[in-house]
Amino acid sequence: MISMVRRVVMRRNPLSRLQTVVWVACALSLIAENATHAAQTAQPSPPRIAINDNRIAAGDLASGTLTIRLEARSGEWRPDGESAPGVVVNAFAIEGRTLQIPAPLIRVVEGTEIRALVGNALEGVPLYVRGLYSRPGKNPAEAVLVPSGETREIRFLAGSPGTYFYWASTDATSPMPQRAGRDTQLSGAFVVEPRGGPSQPERVLVIGSWINGGALGSPDRRNPFVINGRSWPHTERLHYQVGDVVRMRVINAGAAVHPMHLHGFYFNVDSRGDEREDVIFPRDSSPHLVVTERLAAGRTFALTWKPTRPGNWLFHCTIVCI
């Protein structure tokens, strides 16, 4: 059993503009005893995968159409830092650029047409892509097959505003939480903003997990978790001023339930959804104030929070995971 989350006390800022810090964590420590794949073969070292903090939207927008060129390849991922062992996984990149975990952020305004060209550079395996369709989506949503070495074009209107995601696997039948270990990081955020709405700063957090292939219930099974590609304690520190309005979108693209808890404060749940649809609560409705929001695999929620006093606070999953 690994202790995944601990409270860290830091000196408070003595300046007049006091800050508060959120430590984002989620039962995070990658155990990669089988991650020496490159060293055990005569193959060249796989390319390094970059950590994506979901601050920059991908693609090129022109005349109401966003064109994004995605490509799936294999690379080495180091969520525990550059000095820690890595693991070879499949990931997405903008075509010709560095691989990213999570996958490139798709962020558009309601009414935008999306032209996604998805290439499969994985050797000898097909790629089944899900989540690239207009919202609300069908149940179940159909996958788009991209054979090895080929590219498929997917065109659709973004649809209703909300917090969504897209994902892929090399297995046609496995649901997202049961993807094989090398496929578990083929996930990215897909955000649709309301037309004409004010542009408000916010952060997008994608929860993921990596499975080493051990049998369910086996002591050799490892299923650690990450937020935006990083494991605890390497997750990002978010800095805010007292009185700021903090907005976050949280996506569980992993393989377990995560009750997400904020130390020290209540936060308001602004929406709840999944890959296919999102229910956004009216601004004049009763507040949905919680300190913990249960987030099942494949679910999403958006939150608003206002820090009222300085300090260092954790936002984390309350379940200790192995």
Q: Is 25 helix (H, G, I), strand (E, B) or coil?
A: coil
Query: Rounded CA gap, 304 and 1, in Å?
Result: 33
| 80 pLDDT higher than 50 | yes
| Per-residue model confidence (pLDDT) at position 234 | 92
| Per-residue model confidence (pLDDT) at position 196 | 83
pLDDT band at 38; cut points 50, 70, 90: very low
Architecture of the CATH domain 19-317: Sandwich (2.60)
| 1 pLDDT higher than 90 | no
267 and 289 Cβ atoms separated by less than 8 Å: yes
| 33 pLDDT higher than 50 | no
pTM of the model: 0.86
Domain spans in the chain, listed from the N-terminal domain onward: 19-317
| Per-residue model confidence (pLDDT) at position 201 | 84
pLDDT tens digits for range 160-179: 999 999 999 999 998 999 89
Range 249-269 average pLDDT? 95
Q: Which of 5-14, 24-33, 110-119, 310-319 comes out lowest in average pLDDT?
A: 5-14
Q: Which of 90-94, 163-167, 282-286 comes out lowest in average pLDDT?
A: 282-286
| Per-residue model confidence (pLDDT) at position 6 | 32
Can you spell out the DSSP letters for 254-303?
Answer: SSS-EEEEETTS-EEEEEEEESS-EEEPPTTSPP-EESEEEE-TTEEEEE
In this structure, what is the dihedral angle of CA atoms 54, 168, 275, 110, given to the nearest 10 degrees?
Answer: 60
Range 130-148 average pLDDT? 92
Range 137-157 average pLDDT? 93
| Per-residue model confidence (pLDDT) at position 218 | 55
| Per-residue model confidence (pLDDT) at position 22 | 57
Please tell me which residue, 220 or 228, carries the higher pLDDT value. 228
| Per-residue model confidence (pLDDT) at position 210 | 85
Range 175-189 average pLDDT? 93
| 141 pLDDT higher than 90 | no
Work out the number of other CB atoms within 10 angstroms of the CB of residue 42.
5
Range 38-58 average pLDDT? 81
Query: Which two tokens mark 94?
Result: 């903008």
Please tell me which residue, 207 or 322, carries the higher pLDDT value. 207
